[in-house]
Chains A and B, each alone.
Chain A
């Protein structure tokens, strides 16, 4: 691990001022915020992250609250721990897909430390990205190549991939936030702004080192979840072992069944995309239909149509389809 300076701040303003000095908020950032540290410290020990300055935001007041807003939305502070968010009464009552996703991720030890904003910025587990012994990684070192393409890539993405990067987005929480249409609130050097989660994550394309919409100085202060009508929700996660493992494929679904028809259908998948993957094709195929296996299969086929597998991860196409079909079957019968 490299040497670095550390500053503990008490206000968002102070955090933003210090972080504005970094030339990029993406790979290669020289200033990083630290909250739970479960992802950052791991990557600093591997020398994948090499910040010269850490800004500890844990003592900024008021960022660790979950609050119902007058408009019915739910405000989740950046520092709310994953374990606390999973058990928040408002989340359990209105957004159970989020609670299920959080509890399916990591371990009790990690959830007790990991935060909402940190999980939004969780980085890929691609073994080539993690290991400096491999020189080729366009995400770590732009222009160096991709060792995963042509290497071991059983766990890698099949959606949103490019010739430069096929790294899978690792989070469960963020997949649930996709179907809940979460809005990310950012304080930056030029003031406050909001970013819909659908616009937050970038596709790798030719710039896999740019993962999200954050600019130097940007601090995620909170996330809001819009009020929802009463819906059925599910998070189904398929993986190599039944706990404490990343998804091979996961499905987050929010829907209503009204008069025998599917309404307000929202579908996203994890473990298959280079970012948490919302599936408008599936939603379109399901909306207004009577639930049934044929309809579910057609939706799954539509959603995976653009999948681009490599040799070791082609199994993820049928697996993802079956995951979605099983989640849809389970949630409509719930």
Chain B
């Protein structure tokens, strides 16, 4: 076992786990944050996306040992039940979520995309979310949710 200390959603956490435990399992099984979902388990679907030191990664391909001293943001760190993050609110209002399995990853990918492109073109949205698969929505409503988030952020400036 290794003792891993890192910053998770703005709080410092210390957890004991085998060093090759996937970050995905560390979050779900050890820390009981089940917002991060497992889809394919091999880096294809993006359901398990989290932000690692601000960069979007697939947590199913991150061994816990690489998380020592790092900063991790999961969907639980973005909004709260009583106060949704604007991206979450827009996904809700635009119908960007159906079954919900891809949604946490989609929202974190959107967060990462809007950090780099605050007013993304449709092509930039398509490319920015291309690592996240959705089998329900057909993507159009997700793209509209991203555009709506960007619009609101621009209006709120």
Give chain A's interface residues, CB within 8 Å of chain B.
1, 4, 6, 8, 34, 37-38, 41-42, 45, 56, 58, 83, 103, 106-110, 112-113, 243-244
A113 to chain B, nearest CB (A): 5
Show 16 A/B contacts (Cβ-Cβ < 8 Å), sorted by A: A6-B20, A6-B65, A37-B61, A38-B61, A41-B61, A42-B61, A83-B55, A103-B127, A108-B56, A108-B113, A108-B131, A110-B43, A110-B61, A112-B52, A112-B57, A244-B130
With a CB–CB cut-off of 8 A, which chain B residues contact A1?
20
With a CB–CB cut-off of 8 A, which chain B residues contact A56?
65-66
With a CB–CB cut-off of 8 A, which chain A residues contact B36?
none
A58-B66 in contact (CB<8A): yes
B130-A243 in contact (CB<8A): yes
With a CB–CB cut-off of 8 A, which chain A residues contact B20?
1, 4, 6
- Is B19 engaged at the interface, CB distance under 8 Å to the other chain? yes
A45-B55 in contact (CB<8A): no
B42-A42 in contact (CB<8A): yes
With a CB–CB cut-off of 8 A, which chain B residues contact A6?
19-20, 65
B62-A113 in contact (CB<8A): yes
CA distance A56 to B113 in the complex (A): 29
B64 to chain A, nearest CB (A): 11
With a CB–CB cut-off of 8 A, which chain A residues contact B19?
6
- Is B96 engaged at the interface, CB distance under 8 Å to the other chain? no
- Is B141 engaged at the interface, CB distance under 8 Å to the other chain? no
A107-B131 in contact (CB<8A): yes
- Is B120 engaged at the interface, CB distance under 8 Å to the other chain? no
B131-A106 in contact (CB<8A): yes
A37-B63 in contact (CB<8A): yes
Known contacts A1-B20, A38-B43, A244-B130; is-contact A112 B61 (Cβ 8 Å): no
Taken residue by residue from 17 to 48, chain B's Cβ proximity to chain A (1 for < 8 Å, 0 otherwise) reads as 00110000000000000000000011100100
- Is B85 engaged at the interface, CB distance under 8 Å to the other chain? no
